[in-house]
Amino acid sequence: MTARPLSSRVALITGASAGIGQATARELATLGARIAVNARREERLVALVQELADRGDQGPDDARAIAVAGDASDEPVIASMLDEPEAAFGAPVDLVVINAGRGLAGSVMTSDPGQWEEMIRINLVGAARLLRAAGERLSRLQEQREWPEHAADIVVLGSTVGRHISPFSSMYGSTKFAIGSLAEAARRELGPKGVRVSLIEPGIVASEFQGVAGYDPGSFGAMMDTFAPVLTPEDIARLIGFIVKQPAGVHLSGTVVRPTRQEYP
Ligand SMILES: NC(=O)c1ccc[n+]([C@@H]2O[C@H](COP(=O)([O-])OP(=O)(O)OC[C@H]3O[C@@H](n4cnc5c(N)ncnc54)[C@H](OP(=O)(O)O)[C@@H]3O)[C@@H](O)[C@H]2O)c1
């Protein structure tokens, strides 16, 4: 395997203004991919694109990273996320990380119902829309290419609470159960077409996630201390890099990754 195993790849990463998405953009760029990043906070994306350009580890070519700002659950934004990288890089996206999402503290009984629709829209509807659009494009792309010369990847961020029921965040968990099942169904549908759909289900990762979800800093902080060290976004990014740099005929399709001392969920 070469030192820059993704040098022929074009990657799209949603939710790249923070946390796992941002770390994944850096990791895939280090592995040689050209990168398109999405999130709503455009100024952060612009800074990230600049950082990747300034790092100078992207080789001699121009335009190794671009930003496509907007809500990742909007159909026109999804179309732009797939069209703009091809226009900028002269090669189609063949690696999509469906990462944008948010948490929500509480169960169906205790969570804030005013936030349900926004969460379901990005975590499930938006993720499903991108899964469909990326699945269509990547399977068409693979039809035109010699198998198994080229890999094509869709990586989906699930969660351990999308596999093990947690009464403390069950509304959020329900969206991750749903996207986990869609990812596995898409793997069965798209794998035979040469497209790998990989589900990653992390336990606790320290990021902006906990603040956005509204977890109580006291009790949740104490739980994080119990599990310390919790995962970092870079831990997940490294794992994504490992999965997508495998030869096209090798598929690590489902990964649960927890802090070692997190026994549950
Ligand atoms: N942290 C954890 O413990 C953990 C565990 C398991 C799974 N996960 C999953 O991992 C993924 C990333 O989480 P994280 O920990 O990196 O959280 P984070 O630090 O809060 O980052 C979330 C990212 O998603 C973006 N985002 C949110 N809503 C969006 C929307 N409607 N359109 C576009 N972008 C949107 C945010 O950017 P903007 O606000 O700028 O749009 C941000 O870049 C999520 O799917 C999460 O459910 C996290």
- Pair 124, 175: CB distance under 8 Å: yes
pLDDT, tens digit, for every residue of 206-232? 999 999 999 999 988 898 999 999 999
pLDDT, tens digit, for every residue of 238-251? 999 999 999 999 99
Residue nearest to atom 34 of ligand 1 (CA): 39
Instruction: Give the Å distance between the CA of 61 and the centre of ligand 1.
Output: 30
* pTM, 2 dp: 0.97
pLDDT at position 144 over 70: yes
Residue nearest to atom 36 of ligand 1 (CA): 15
Instruction: Give the Å distance between the CA of 127 and the centre of ligand 1.
Output: 12
Nearest atom in ligand 1 to the alpha carbon of residue 233 is 16
- Pair 258, 48: CB distance under 8 Å: no
What is the pLDDT at residue 219?
A: 87
Q: HSE-up of 45 (CA within 13 Å, CB side)?
A: 20
Instruction: Give the Å distance between the CA of 18 and the centre of ligand 1.
Output: 7
Whether the CB of 85 sits within 6 Å of ligand 1 = no
| Beta strands across the sheet bearing 152-157 | 65-67, 34-37, 10-13, 95-98, 152-157, 195-202, 254-257
Q: Ligand 1 pocket check: which of 13, 43, 205 to mutate, most ligand atoms within 8 Å of Cβ? A: 205
Residue nearest to atom 8 of ligand 1 (CA): 159
d(CA 33, CA 187): 23
pLDDT, tens digit, for every residue of 103-127? 999 999 999 999 999 999 999 999 9
Instruction: Give the Å distance between the CA of 149 and the centre of ligand 1.
Output: 33
Instruction: Give the Å distance between the CA of 29 and the centre of ligand 1.
Output: 19
> What is the phi/psi pair of residue 44, to 5°?
-70, -35
Nearest atom in ligand 1 to the alpha carbon of residue 161 is 6
The domains of the chain, with CATH numbers, are 10-257 (3.40.50.720)
Nearest atom in ligand 1 to the alpha carbon of residue 103 is 47
Instruction: Give the Å distance between the CA of 145 and the centre of ligand 1.
Output: 33
pLDDT, tens digit, for every residue of 156-171? 999 999 999 998 999 9
Whether the CB of 151 sits within 6 Å of ligand 1 = no
Cis peptide leading into residue 148 (ω within 30°): yes
